[in-house]
């Protein structure tokens, strides 16, 4: 487990002290939120550090994978401004949808809504529709640090969110299972990339099945093509329409 890894950077130690959440317990354990094992190599602590800001680039599947770790461990999460989030895919990856609050249209008041949620839930995803003012980004990051929750700006272009501790993105992706007229999308192997500030300054990479066959997120150790069953194109129609009729 990497959670006990000694902290070298003074700035990071500072952050951690501030990030210590209310309540007692082992401070190191309490200061981290678990992530899925497949994503652990991307994080300097092997887990999400409470109080940090982790930006996720435009991949919804990656966002779901980030949500799944804390959610599986019992945390409450909230997603603001993502009306298109695929909740069936989220549930398949392990997100507990009954502990997931959705605010599809937070409107122009999104900074105060985000702040209110940071006070109460462990992980808040926010996708601001418009350009983000540097002051808002700074204030929200400070709020997260103070309350010990994790702020996840989603879909903000690089440099659009000032002061993110870590930035996750999809570098390469390869789908398998789909052929020319046969099969279906079964699994996708992606190369994930993370970089950031402080202890996260060194870029990290991870090979991940996002999703693996069945919808979960799993580490991909080596490039192993998964076997594909050749299926006949289409399914037999229930009621046969008259021939020649076009859809």
232 contributes a contact to other proteins by CB under 8 A: no
Interatomic CA distance for residues 93 and 90, integer angstroms: 5
Binders of other proteins among residues 4 to 23 (CB under 8 A) are: 23
237 contributes a contact to other proteins by CB under 8 A: yes
**What is the sign, positive or negative, of the torsion defined by CA atoms of 120, 61, 39, 186?**
positive
243 contributes a contact to other proteins by CB under 8 A: yes
Interatomic CA distance for residues 226 and 28, integer angstroms: 39
Query: Of these, 48, 64, 150, 151, which contacts other proteins (CB under 8 A)?
Result: 64
Which tokens sit at 22?
A: 């209310």
Q: What CA–CA distances, in Å, run from 242 to 173, 211, 237, 245, 246?
A: 42, 39, 12, 6, 9
Which tokens sit at 211?
A: 């999703």
Query: Of these, 37, 74, 157, 203, which contacts other proteins (CB under 8 A)?
Result: 74
Binders of other proteins among residues 154 to 193 (CB under 8 A) are: 173-175, 178-188
- Phi and psi dihedrals of 32, rounded to 5? -125, 145
Query: Of these, 89, 136, 195, 204, which contacts other proteins (CB under 8 A)?
Result: 89
223 contributes a contact to other proteins by CB under 8 A: no
41 contributes a contact to other proteins by CB under 8 A: no
Which stretch in 56-64, 125-133, 157-165, 193-201 sits in contact with other proteins by CB under 8 A? Answer: 56-64
Q: Which is nearer to other proteins, 22 or 202 (CB)?
A: 22
């Amino acid at each position: 487990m990497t959670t006990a890894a000694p902290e070298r950077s003074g700035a990071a130690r500072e952050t951690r002290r501030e990030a210590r959440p209310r309540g007692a317990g082992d401070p190191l354990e309490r200061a981290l939120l678990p992530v899925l094992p497949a994503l652990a190599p991307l994080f300097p602590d092997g887990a999400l550090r409470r109080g940090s800001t982790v930006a996720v680039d435009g991949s919804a599947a990656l966002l779901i994978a980030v949500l799944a770790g804390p959610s599986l461990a019992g945390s409450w999460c909230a997603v603001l401004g993502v009306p298109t989030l695929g909740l069936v895919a989220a549930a398949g990856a392990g997100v507990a949808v009954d502990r997931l609050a959705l605010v599809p249209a937070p409107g122009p008041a999104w900074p105060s809504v985000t702040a209110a949620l940071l006070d109460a839930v462990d992980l808040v995803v926010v996708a601001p529709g418009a350009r983000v003012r540097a002051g808002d980004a700074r204030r929200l990051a400070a709020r997260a640090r103070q309350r010990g929750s994790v702020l996840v700006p989603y879909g903000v272009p690089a440099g659009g969110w000032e002061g993110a501790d870590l930035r996750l993105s999809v570098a390469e992706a390869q789908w398998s299972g789909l052929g020319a007229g046969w099969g279906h999308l079964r699994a996708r192997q992606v190369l994930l990339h993370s970089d950031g500030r402080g202890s996260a300054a060194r870029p990290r990479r991870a090979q991940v099945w996002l999703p693996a066959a069945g919808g979960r997120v799993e580490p991909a150790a080596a490039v192993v093509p998964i076997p594909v069953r050749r299926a006949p194109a289409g399914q037999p129609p229930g009621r046969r329409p008259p021939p020649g009729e076009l859809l």
